[in-house]
Amino acid sequence: MQTLTKKLTEAGLQDKIITDSQLKRLLDGSAQRRYHLVNRATKAGELMRLRRGLYVLAKPFRSRSCHPFAVAQMVEPGSYVSLQSALSFHGWIPETVYSTTSIVPGRKAKEYLHEQFGQFTFHPLAIQTGYFLEVVERTQIDQQMVLLANPLRALMDLVCLNKVEWQGLDWIEQSMRIDSDSWEKITCADFQALKPVYKQKRVRNFMNKLETALGLNPRRQEHDHE
């Protein structure tokens, strides 16, 4: 076992995502010494680099797996998991999603590929100021806390990102492969919480149409029948 691996284990960091700042506090000596210890542990296959300044211990030295959602949060601080990844996690779509998809503040889309943890994609959206984390919940997965969009938020993020126009409930279920049983889990409160979130009129219109189609907007239904 490498010196760094032993020190990380003794410090209780074997299951954590480790930053350069933590290494600096943990290890005595110069930056050059830290670099050599990191380099030796990496070459020995005991430490993996996620990206510059972020590391995790390899599987044999951990007591549990490092979840890709937790990795995404550290790779892009302030992001939250959404889109297909969140829909798959919540059981709304049947497909396994091999890329971890997240929403990130700002205007720049980003993408990373890691040999073990796979692909990470980060997308910006046109979201009203102060509503970035609306209906995004702190969720524990394998004893790791992540920010995860609830199912309706994940769906509407996907509508916003892909500029999807409303084409009916059947079209959503068929083209986006949403399980029809999933609609039973949505409430009026979910829609009300999301209505101030998106800037584009197209997204708000889609949400209103979906709400009506699910019978959760009685006033609009009455208006449509007049």
Query: pLDDT tens per residue, the chain (226 residues)?
Result: 888 999 999 999 899 899 999 999 998 888 898 889 999 999 999 999 998 889 999 988 988 888 999 999 999 999 999 999 999 999 999 877 789 999 999 899 999 999 888 999 999 999 999 999 999 999 999 889 999 999 999 999 999 999 999 999 999 999 888 988 999 989 999 999 999 999 999 999 999 999 999 998 655 444 444 4
User: How far separated are the first and last CA of the chain, in Å rounded?
Assistant: 75
Residues of the chain with CATH 1.10.10: 3-61
CA distance 104 to 110: 9
Please name which of 36, 20, 27 lies closest in space to residue 74, comparing C-alpha atoms: 20
| Tokens matching residue 50 | 């996620």
- pLDDT in the model for residue 179: 85
* CATH 1.10.8 fits domain 3-61: no
Torsion of CA 72, 76, 77, 82, to 10 degrees: -50
Q: What are phi and psi of 31, to 5 degrees?
A: -60, -35
CA–CA separation, 141 and 122 (whole Å): 20
| pTM (2 d.p.) | 0.88
Place of tokens 């032993």: 6
47: tokens are 């430490």
State the pLDDT at residue 29: 81
The candidate with the shortest Cα–Cα distance to 135, out of 121, 151, 124, is 151
Hey, is 103 helix, strand or coil?
strand
